[in-house]
Amino acid sequence: MLRQIRERTGSVVVKIILGLLIISFAAWGVGDMVQFRAEDQPVAEVAGTELTRRDVENEVRREMARLNPRFAGQLTPETARMLGLPQSVLGQMVNDILLNAETRDLDIAVSDNIVREAVRSSNAFRSNLGAGGFDRQKFQAMLYQFGMTEQEFLDRARRELARGQLLDTVEAGVEAPRVLAETFYRYREETRVAETLYVTDAQAQITAQPTDEDLRAYHKDNPGPFTAPEYRAVTLVMIDAKRLADPAGVTDEDIAKAFDEQKDSLNTPETRTLSQMVLADKDTADKAAKMLAEGRSFADVAKELAGMDEAGTDLGKVTRDDVLDEIAEAAFSTPAGSVSAPVSGPGGIFYIVKVRDVEPGQAATLDAVKDKLKASIAHERAIDHLYTLVNDLEDNLGKGATIEEAARSQNIEPIKIPAIDAQGKDAAGNPVPGLPENAAPIAAAAFDTEEGADSTLRELGGEAFFVLRVDKITKPALRPYETVKGQVMDAVIAERRRDAALAFAKQLADRLKGGDDPKVIADETGAVFAETLKLKRYMPRSESGIPGQLLQDIFTLQNGEAKVTRAEGGYFVSMVKSITPADPGADTTGVTAMKGELEGLWKDDVVTQLAAALRKEKGVTVNENILRQVLNPAAQSGQ
């Protein structure tokens, strides 16, 4: 976590953008907008600042959005809780507040010039074209996405830079001795070449087929692979906006009314192709305007006075809403082919805009947008209906109605699921019929709920809710031998082949240690011979070409030793062919890099001490009961 503090602070723009992702939480679905319980209880108090459950949950959901691609889009709130994400995020939030408080107490100030330079030099806003300078269009797109003014963004950047100055001061003077860096360098950069023999389980010969008595004994002594998981029988009620949508119920009058109400937003707005230069102050802006009036090209002036290449000045084709408020009037009143007068911006900067092309807007026609409006109206009505049904369902359940009674009062038919396991599979190992593709939240709710009890009403996807009752719990049980005899046979044969392959590999290892040529052994036995590349201890598989465990084992060997390693459905037998010690004197750059890595670790230790001291000095209290409710409605309801 402390490494994250340092890295995030060092990348000011990225830190701000990640923080702003909280604004986009509506994309997680209506569940984040419809609140059934208060969420303003304090989870923690840090240096006089309260962090509410809502604050922490919003930040956790932002972190889930960032991590979700690593989980193939299946990172559920239940999984996030099991991973300890709420606790980890809360710790980061506490550290952020403590560091910000300390910068205020120390009166650490950051000038306007430093803030502007940090933003302009950020890779987040670097152009993909030309010399890769500051891309104003990317910057504006970010501001537009998060609904911020430029000044608001700069203020956030100023706070992050102040924290960076604090950490830089704390870490100043941390230096690793070069002799220590050389020691670590020798260890990491030593190279080895090994010779290997590889035998597969499939190559191994077993002397006899297992008897029925063998199979029954294996089934009894190794129950795990043949044990059915816990199953739960549930009654499920789902309310899905997609199923509620009724395009056929949208009349021509509805569409015409919506068209009149939304006409302005349905029109195609005027677009302009713009270039823009950003100048440090009024004198520079006036000088630029004079040079342009004298016939100098926009690109040349921008390069000379603003330090912007042509790609960096290109805003592309934009609408009025796409550009900053400060330049909107100038950009959309200046004729095509002309440049605007200097326009003042925040922090004393100035803009000059060139209008390269103008495309007039077009008025939308009812026929052109009729289908789009029809679908939109049906969807909006479905969402409204969803809210009503969800609230009524919860009210009825709260009054003591059964799930069946509450559902049927809303004309919803409950779904009976005879068996569902923790992975959402039925007793046959297939996805439970009738459930949506991502049924993980339903399975999680079933296993969070006690037998005979109702779950809390939970969100499912973006526009659906569900509630369930656990009717019966079937505990894990060993499947009868007769039903899994084939699986038992496969397991026993696989184990015997594995044992035979291991015994064979050990024989090969003995021959290698006895001095036999590995190539001769391979020719005689059918084992696969290979000589490795020059290996280092921490080479990734893509570079070493061998399994990770084999790489680790090779670096445990002394000359003349051989070792057997299990990997990839067989066994590797390895022997070191050569060892080349690393020479720190021949690679001063590498030693310097190692020194830097060590100093980074030591700086983390210093920041650890700072964080502990700030927690003690400024005070941090955490309400564990409220923290457990983050992403966990069941905890709040006392289940």
pLDDT at 17: 53
**Pure H helices in 434-484:** 440-448
The secondary element (H helix, E strand) that includes residue 615 is helix 588-618
Mean pLDDT score, 483-499: 95
pLDDT at 80: 84
Q: Tell me the three state secondary structure of residue 434.
A: coil
In terms of residues, how long is the chain?
A: 639
pLDDT at 218: 96
Mean pLDDT score, 289-296: 94
pLDDT band at 415; cut points 50, 70, 90: very high
Q: How far from 256 is each of 250, 262, 362, 364, 375, CA to CA, in Å? A: 11, 10, 19, 12, 13
pLDDT at 28: 30
Q: How far from 98 is each of 7, 23, 166, 618, CA to CA, in Å? A: 17, 23, 12, 8
**Of residues 533 and 132, more confidently modeled:** 533
pLDDT at 178: 95
Write out the two tokens for 171. 């870490």
The per-residue pLDDT for range 141-169, each reduced to its tens digit, is 777 666 678 888 888 888 888 888 888 88
pLDDT at 6: 38
**Of residues 366 and 8, more confidently modeled:** 366
Q: Each residue of 348-376: b (16+ CB within 10 Å) or e?
A: ebbbbbbbbeeeeeeebeeeebeeebbeb
Predicted confidence (pLDDT) at residue 191 exceeds the cutoff of 80? yes
Write out the two tokens for 240. 């899905």
pLDDT at 636: 52
The per-residue pLDDT for range 535-582, each reduced to its tens digit, is 999 999 999 999 999 999 999 999 999 999 999 899 999 999 999 999
Distance separating alpha carbons of residues 135 and 312, to the nearest angstrom:
4
Closest by Cα among 367, 461, 453 to 634: 453
pLDDT at 146: 61
Q: Comparing 27-41, 45-59, 131-145, 247-261, which segment has the lowest mean pLDDT?
A: 27-41
pLDDT band at 402; cut points 50, 70, 90: very high
pLDDT at 373: 86
Predicted confidence (pLDDT) at residue 281 exceeds the cutoff of 80? yes
Question: Percent of the chain scored above 90 by pLDDT?
Answer: 46
pLDDT band at 425; cut points 50, 70, 90: very high
Q: Are strands 570-580 and 191-200 parallel, antiparallel or unpaired?
A: antiparallel
pTM over 0.75: no
Q: How far from 589 is each of 9, 485, 535, 582, 583, CA to CA, in Å? A: 27, 62, 20, 13, 12
The per-residue pLDDT for range 71-92, each reduced to its tens digit, is 766 777 878 888 888 998 898 8
The per-residue pLDDT for range 324-338, each reduced to its tens digit, is 888 999 999 999 999
The per-residue pLDDT for range 205-233, each reduced to its tens digit, is 888 899 999 999 999 999 999 999 999 99
- Give all domains of the chain, ordered by start, each with its CATH number: 2-174+600-637 (1.10.4030), 191-227+484-580 (no CATH), 230-246+368-475 (3.10.50), 268-359 (3.10.50.40)
